Every structure is written in C-alpha cells, then in structure tokens.
Structure 1
Amino acid sequence: MSTPAGDYLSSGPRFAEGEVIERIESFRRRRPRLLDDHVTLAHGAGGKAAAALVDAVFMEAFRNPALEQLGDGAVLTLPSGERLAMSTDSFVVQPRRFPGGSIGELAVHGTCNDLAMAGAVPTWISAAFVIEEGFPIAELKDIVADMAAAAAQAGVQIVTGDTKVVPRGAADGLFVTTAGTGVIPPERTLSAQSVRAGDKVLLSGSMGDHGMAVMLARGDLALEADIRSDTACLSPLVELLMAAAPSTRWLRDATRGGVGTVCNELAQSCGLGVVLVEQRLPVRPVVNGACELLGIDPLYVANEGKFVAVVAPEEAEAALAALRSHPLGADAAEVGEIVTEPAETVVLRTGFGGTRIVDMLVGDPLPRIC
C-alpha cells in the first residue's frame, strides 16, 4: 500500500495540508532551464545547473532512445540479444591523493560502479590520460599502479587507452577519462519505470564520507577530522543484493549531488514521490559535524562507495540483510518509501515531526571531488 501524502505532510506546522500540496505542485512544475551564457563550476556539480546543461546542450544534439534514459551508463542490446552496459567518466579530483584513495582508484571504482548500477558485471575498461607538461613521472607511476590494483581487485581489465600531453598551464596536472563495458545477466532489468508506489528506498551505507574527505584534504579549511573516502567497487555488493532481492527495481550510486539529488532524479524519472525519513539516514558523527561547521547538508555531499536502491516491499528485509552481510554495506539502512503523491518530488520527514522538500543540488559547494 502506498502512503497518502497527507500522512507525511499534515504534521507540517506552517501550512494546511491542501496548501502544502498546492505549493508542492507549483514547485514540481519548475524544471531546470539553462539561463547561463557561460559554463560555470556549478554545471559540473551534478545538480540543477548540470541537469539544465545536459538537457539544453547535449541531449538536444545527441538525442536517442539509449541516451534518453539518462542513466550513469547506457544499456545496449546486441543483435544476438545479449545486453551490455557502457559508461564513460572523467576524473579531475583535487588533490589527486586523499585519505582513503587516489584519482587512480577513483577512476576504476567510479567506472565499475556506473556499470553495476545498470545491473551489469563490469568486465573491461579503457583509460585516457591528459597530462600537463612537467608532471612527475614517479607520481604518474603511482597513480597507474593504483588503477592496476583497483582493477585487479574489481576483476576488470584495462584493455585500451590514450595519452595526451598538453603545455604547462593547460591542465591542472592530470585528468583521467575512462570508459567501461559489462554484461547484464539475461533475467536482470533495472529502470525507473519499474518503480512502484509502496517500494522501499535503501541506502547502502553512511553519507558524505568521500566529499568531506576530499574537502578537508585540500587544506583550505582550518579543520582536522578522521574522515576517509569511501571509494570502492560496489559490484560485489550489488550481486549480493540481486541474489537476495531479484525484483530490485532501480539502483544509482550517490556521487555528485549526493543522495538528495539522486532521489530527485528518481522521482522525476518514475513520476512518483520519494519520502525520506531524516532519522534513518546514516551519517557518521564526524562527517555530520564537519558538514555542520561548513554549512553543508550531508544529503548533497558526494559518495564514491554508496548506492541508493529501490526494492519491492516484500524483499526489503532480505535485501537489507544481504547488504549488511558485506563490509561495504555494514551501515545499510531503509531510509524511505515511494509514494503516489506528491509526484516527482522528494520530501523529508524531519526529526521534529515536520516535513520539507528536498530539492536538487543548487550551486557547487564541493567542486572537483571526483
């Protein structure tokens, strides 16, 4: 049974239920539009500005059925009937090495995770390097070694690549671009269109570790905290989930824009609402404290080893147990539910008994975190 919107919204202290619904309907109709004349850092943050850029520039030029799914990877069907997932990504994180990982590990993990979110088993990766003149060979070797180790652990091969060297000042040291492919098992279908009212929303672990680890590692802030990136290959965890909950509807790793933005993308894609429960959202105290000092909501902080899953209600308990059985999912939690109304909207039930709308990320509070 789906939960009526009134059950979630009537506790709000400021507006009557009908007025809240009317405000949500008005909010829902406001789609991101590209109003800028020049690209800004916000266009790379994964929030409203990024969505507007993709829609007005790239989707307008390249529109096709595979691209219109707007997933982190495309699902492609071969003439034989076999399905593949293909993904591409670029990595510009600064600093290149941070507590818990490096740009090399991130490049492999991020690519594998995009494929896993499409239901694929990652198999092959290509890697291209844009290197600034004067970049230390020793550091390059270390980063490539990190990539090799991460690929071996993930069970993928780096099978092709490219190298470009640009003059001093034309790039900030090193940028890495990857593409990956993987095979999707025949019986597996994941899509926002499969999501139904009453489905449960799971989060595979605590929010915000990667974004805050990178932010503090830059040394621009007078803060010190024991925060390590959560960068990891999520494919083994996805396979455990799919074995325990074969009717799983949808997956997405909560990278740029965090859990808040990912849930908004889900709501807009499936045409339903997402209700999150604030007290169930896992955040480590040290991460939450750092976010509070910086004035950043953990809901919007990037993760590189966590995903959001929508599962059938009858499989939620088994799915959660499977996630918690693996070290990468030890802090997994059921954090919300899919509802009929308010459609295409994310609502947070707060610890004080009220509710608030969770919009897509606006601006760019944490640039170059992946």
Structure 2
Amino acid sequence: MGHGGGGALSAELVRDVFAPAYGGHTLAGLGDSAALEIGGARLAFSTDSFVVRPLFFPGGSIGDLAVNGTVNDLAMSGAKPAYLSCGFILEEGVEIAVVSRVAEALGAAARTAGVEIATGDTKVVEAGHGDGVYINTSGIGLIPRGVDLRPQRVVPGDAVLVSGAIGVHGVAIMSVREGLEFGVEIQSDCAALGGLVESMLAAAGDPGALRVLRDPTRGGLAAALNEIAAASGTGVVIQERAVPVPPAVANACAVLGLDPMYVANEGKLVAFVRPDAADAVLAAMRAHPLGGEAAVIGEVVDAHHGMVVARTGLGGTRVVDLPLGEQLPRIC
C-alpha cells in the first residue's frame, strides 16, 4: 500500500521499475502531465486512476475526483483542459443506482470544469475482486504560447505560494470512512483549478514569471515541495505559521497524530513564482473563488539542495522529508 501513497516508495517504484521499462524522453520529466508538441500545437496529456473509499464523501464523490484530478493535472502544465476519456471498472454486484449516481456526478463535474467526456470504456470484474467502482480518466488540453511550467525553471529567490487551506480532503475522507466526528463536518476541497490557473497566468504578465505549479494530492504539501526541490536542485524554506491549516483539520490531525503537511488535498495548488510577480499573482489568487485563502508560505534558497526546511513558530527549524508512504490510504 505504501507504494501507492505518493511518497518515497512511490518514487522508487517509478524510478526503478516503470521508468527503465518504458524509457522515452517525454516520460523522463515525470510531471503531473506531459507536454507534447503535435502539428505545431503544444498539448498537455495526463492520466489518473481513482480508487477512493467510500465512493461518496462530504463535498464530493469518486466521480468528482475522476474529473477534477485529471483536469488539475493538465492545469498544472498551464493547459486549458479540453477532453477526457473515462474508463469504469465495476465490481459484480454493485447496484446500477450507485453507478448512475457516480456517472451523474462525473458528468456534472465535467460540465463545471468546461471539459467534454469524449470516449470511454467499461469492464466488470468478479465479486470480491474490486471495491464497487474504480475509474480511470485521461485528458488533453492546449498549452498557451509562452507558458513553460516545470520545476527545472525554479531558481533561488522565487516565492512559494499555496492557494488555500491544506489537509481538508484527506481529513474529510477519513472522517466519513472511520465514522469520526470533530465537532464540525469537514468538506472535501475537491475542485477544478483551471480557472484559477488562468487568472494567475494573466496576473503574472510575463508567463515566464510562473516557474512551476503542482497540486499537492497524495503525500500532501510536503511531497509536492520535496519533488520540486529535488527536480530543481534547490532548497525550499517555508514558514510553518504561514501555511493555512483550518482549525478543524489541525484539531483532527492532533487527535490522530497526523501532520497536515502530509495530508492529501484535491482542490489546492502550490506555485513557485518569480519574486517581482509574487504580489500580483497572490492578489489574483485571492480574488478568485478558489484562492481566497492564498498565502506566501516560503521561498527558494541556494542551500540544502533538494531539501525542504520549515521554520517553526518557536524559532527552530525542522526538515520536511518526503513521506515514506501515505498517512491515509485510498484518498483518491
């Protein structure tokens, strides 16, 4: 299970098994989506599979995740998402009414995100060989001219921004899965981020002012920051108190011994931005419905290369490692 958690074990699996077997220059970038040049156009292409349990949770469902997860991977390349494929793997015995409810949620999420389901597939496996419904979605989108978002463009001095409160999705899934109550219902932050990214690109003026974007899903904010630090060969310093964590999430994590930095999100992004454009991009994020709690949480430094360090509220520092596996399995 740890190999599917988005942390160090996942990275080892990709590095040692899949990448050598597949080869290819395009795959070597290992971004949220691949940037492809076809017929003079730059396309983003991504695929993702969704095995969340339970199928329905506060704030969303596996259908919403299947659209928003892939749409957001495309958006992290700066692309405008356009088309998705959708493959359903159904377990024998799952009620048609459940499948219909998931499909309706998926279709509604696609319409909200401005994408079309263009092709699909359905398979059924024997009872006991699935978990009701699994979904795979792939997507393509068009990358605007001049946009080049990748961690290799990150340099010391760049500002690190997050679009809002972290840890919400993972805690929402856990609360309903385990029947836990924390005084208030925690709703998943599942959302399509394409519109937010468009606003950020427009506010930056020069598209090169945005260095890289990442949606911190499996492995949470910690995994996303570590991946970017490693790929760019730079260090990252964050101010722990600047990271927005809702009180309900902080309380739930304190009770359960979890670190919000490692808890998954499904409607947030991390942005590395050229320092002279950081204020304009932050203002654009805060003006968007999905970025009202956006904050500058740190900066890139020319030290401890490939490592993320947090400055604590007590004046000390701690290393924010890449997680080994996943604190909360089956969250997407």
Alignment TM class, shorter chain as reference? over 0.9
Alpha-carbon distance, 1:346 to partner: 0.4
Q: Kindly provide the CA deviation profile for residues 238-278 of structure 1, in whole angstroms up to 9, marking residues without a partner as x.
A: 00001011310000000000001110000000000000100
Q: What displacement does 1:224 show?
A: 5.2
Matching residue's letter, 1:106:
L
CA distance in 2, matches of 1:228, 1:65: 40
> Could you tell me which residue of structure 1 aligns to residue 271 of structure 2?
309
Q: Any runs of at least 4 consecutive aligned residues in structure 1 with deviations exceeding 4 A, and if so which?
A: 220-224
1-side partners of 2:296 and 2:171: how far apart? 23
- For 2:11 and 2:194, the matched residues in 1 are separated by 26
What is the one-letter code of the residue matched to 2:228?
Answer: L
Q: C-alpha distance in 1, partners of 2:168/2:181? A: 18
Deviation by residue 1:109-143 (Cα, 9 ceiling, x = unmatched): 00100000011100000000110011100111111
Match in the other structure for 1:19:
none
Q: Could you list the runs of 5+ residues in structure 2 that have no partner in the other structure?
A: none
Q: Which runs of 5+ in 1 are unaligned?
A: 1-40
Tell me if structure 2 keeps the 8 A contact 1:216–1:224.
no
Q: Alignment partner of 1:348: what SS?
A: strand
Q: Which residue of structure 1 aligns with residue 224 of structure 2? A: 262
Q: CA RMSD in A?
A: 0.9
Larger-Rg structure: 1
User: Which is worse superposed, 52-61 or 217-226?
Assistant: 217-226
CA contact (8 A) 2:309 2:318 kept: yes
CA distance in structure 2 between the aligned counterparts of 1:89 and 1:329, rounded to whole angstroms: 24
Question: Which of these residues, 163, 179, 186, is aligned with residue 204 of structure 1?
Answer: 163
- Tell me the secondary structure at the aligned position of residue 156 of structure 2: coil
Please report how far the alpha carbon of residue 292 of structure 1 lies from its aligned counterpart in structure 2 after TM superposition. Answer: 0.7
Structure-2 residue corresponding to 1:361: 323
Counterpart residue number, 2:246: 284
2:37 to 73, 77, 83: 77
2:194 equivalent in structure 1: 235
Moved more, 280-289 or 59-68: 59-68
Q: Is the 2:52–2:62 Cα contact (8 Å) retained in structure 1?
A: yes
Alignment length, in residue pairs? 329
In the alignment, which of 70, 94, 97 is matched to residue 138 of structure 1?
Answer: 97
TM-score (norm 1): 0.88
Contact 1:237 1:328 in 2 (8 A): yes
For 1:188, which of 147, 168, 184 is the aligned residue? 147
Separation (CA, whole Å) in 1 of partners of 2:33 and 2:210? 18
TM-score w.r.t. the length of structure 2 is 0.98
**1:1-370 correspondence runs (5 A):** 41-78=1-38, 80-221=39-180, 223=182, 225-245=184-204, 246=207, 247-370=209-332
- Contact 1:200–1:310 at 8 Å: present in 2 too? yes
Percentage identity across paired residues of the two chains: 53
Aligned-partner SS, 2:210: coil
Paired with 1:222 and 1:288, the residues of 2 have a C-alpha distance of: 14
Letter in 1 for 2:91: E
Distance 2:25 2:77 in 1: 16
Distance in 1, matches of 2:225 and 2:73, equals 16
Seen in structure 2, the aligned counterparts of structure 1 residues 360 and 163 have a Cα distance that, compared at 3 Å, is same
Q: What do residues 290-327 of structure 1 show as CA deviations (whole Å, max 9, x unaligned)? A: 01111010000000000000001000000100000011
